[in-house]
Amino acid sequence: MESLNRCQLSLSSLMQSTPTLVQFLDSKNVSTTHFMIGVNILAYPSQFLSAFDSGNDIAVHTWTHPYMTTLSNIDVVGQVSRP
């Protein structure tokens, strides 16, 4: 049985370092889930694509990374579900 290296990463503030990080983890045969903030995906599309094109999983880590406890229920839904 082949072993699978898996780790969870939060890249909220590391978007500019994503390509370097992806290359390093790929060289170690580590598969990852990248939790990214929605507006950062739009602001740094090439960094997003480096993680996506490498076959890694992508998860949205809210839209703008607000303090969720300060938001109304409808605003919380808006942070985690964008069309």
Domain hosting 13: range is 5-80
Averaged pLDDT for residues 75-82: 85
Element (H, E) at 10: strand 5-10
- Tell me which of 80 and 69 has the higher pLDDT: 69
Give the Cα separation of 30 and 50 in Å (integer): 15
45: its two tokens: 């599309």
Residue 5's pLDDT is: 62
Number of domains in the chain: 1
- Looking at the DSSP assignment, which residues form a beta bridge with residue 33? 8, 57
Residue 13's pLDDT is: 53
* Secondary structure of 15-43 as H, E, C letters: HHHHHHHHHHHHHCCEEEEEEECHHHHHH
Nearest to 14 by CA among 58, 49, 42, 44: 44
Domain harbouring 10, CATH code: 3.20.20.370
